[in-house]
């Protein structure tokens, strides 16, 4: 593993954002998804950090970052503003950006809101938020029921999860295609478990999903005619719920002007289960691009 250059938290955009920086070269920001933390990237970092300065960060509400109150505070726009401010504070006004799951949705919003800052965009195992909610199918509603469970008014989901948070979030890791607990590196799984044990984190994650319906859907509706113009990579798990329900690349084609798409072996959590393949796909995409 490359030596850690810097780790800790920075006060940006009114939040404490936890981050780690490794490697050297052009900057690359990696954003995790639900119900994980920045530790999900650990096994992919060695290959990436040989060519890039890799920054991993916990989204607000997750991991070691601060847990703001209120549904609006957990919108993708709010999360994106944090991450832009973090990279600026670290001295990177322009950077490559990749995100999985909620991190991918945050990355998409950041690329729309601050295109001058994003040299390239990679989204992993998601379809566009507006499309998923606006054209919901029975198949997706069943596979992604958690979107609607977590979005129920507080404190119902928080209380139900609180009865056994470890069991609930393990069930999330084992869903959405092709995962078992042995797919998750022990240190990363331990970090996830620490986060799940924090009621403030559980509440913030619920607000993340409430915001998707109450805030993000409407933000995305206003931007349906806009395209991300930087080079973009769409990665998805070959055995995941999204690949079974959609032509994932086709869902993104109207929204990304310069798009490449590629399947990775595994399900939704392919970064944990196939980190070397994930890193190789990123390097293949990023290597030929103009560097920030």
**Which active-site residues does the annotation give?**
101, 268
The strand pairing partners of 6, in sequence order, are 21
- Euclidean distance between CA atoms 267 and 274, whole angstroms: 10
What is the 8-class DSSP label of residue 64? T
Q: How far apart are the first and last CA of the chain?
A: 24
Cross-sheet strand order for the sheet of 27-31: 4-12, 15-23, 53-57, 27-31, 95-100, 118-124, 228-237, 256-264
CA distances 82 to 104, 207, 228, 246, Å, are 14, 17, 20, 31
Q: Pairing relation of β-strands 95-100 and 118-124?
A: parallel
Q: Please choose, from the candidates 235, 247, 248, 240, the residue with its C-alpha nearest in 3D space to the C-alpha of residue 179.
A: 240
SS (H, E, C) 92-161: CCCEEEEEECHHHHHHHHHHHHCHHHEEEEEEECCCCHHHHHHCCCHHHHHHCCHHHHHCCCCCHHHHHH
């Amino acid at each position: 593993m490359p030596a850690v250059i810097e780790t800790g938290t920075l006060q940006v955009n009114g939040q404490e954002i936890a981050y780690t920086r490794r490697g050297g070269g052009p900057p690359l920001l990696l954003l995790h998804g639900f119900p994980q933390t920045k530790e999900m990237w650990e096994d992919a970092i060695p290959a990436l950090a040989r060519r890039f300065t890799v920054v991993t960060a916990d989204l607000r509400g997750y991991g070691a970052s601060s847990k703001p109150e209120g549904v609006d505070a957990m919108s993708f726009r709010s999360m994106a503003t944090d991450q832009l401010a973090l990279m600026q504070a670290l001295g990177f006004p322009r950077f490559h950006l990749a995100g999985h799951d909620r991190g991918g949705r945050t990355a998409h919003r950041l690329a729309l809101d601050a295109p001058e800052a994003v040299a390239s965009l990679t989204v992993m195992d998601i379809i566009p938020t507006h499309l998923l909610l606006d054209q919901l199918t029975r198949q997706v509603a069943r596979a992604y029921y958690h979107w609607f469970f977590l979005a129920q008014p507080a404190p119902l989901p928080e209380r139900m999860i609180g009865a056994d948070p470890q069991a609930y979030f393990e069930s999330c890791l084992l869903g959405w295609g092709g995962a078992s607990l042995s797919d998750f590196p022990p240190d990363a799984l331990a970090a996830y478990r620490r986060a799940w044990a924090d009621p403030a984190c559980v509440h913030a994650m619920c607000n993340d999903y409430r915001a998707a319906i109450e805030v993000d859907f409407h933000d995305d509706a206003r931007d349906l005619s806009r395209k991300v113009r930087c080079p973009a990579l769409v990665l998805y798990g070959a055995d995941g719920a999204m690949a079974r329900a959609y032509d994932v690349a086709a869902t993104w084609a109207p929204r990304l002007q310069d798009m490449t798409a590629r399947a990775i072996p595994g399900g939704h959590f392919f970064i944990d289960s196939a980190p070397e393949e994930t890193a190789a796909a990123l390097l293949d995409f990023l290597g030929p691009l103009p560097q920030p």
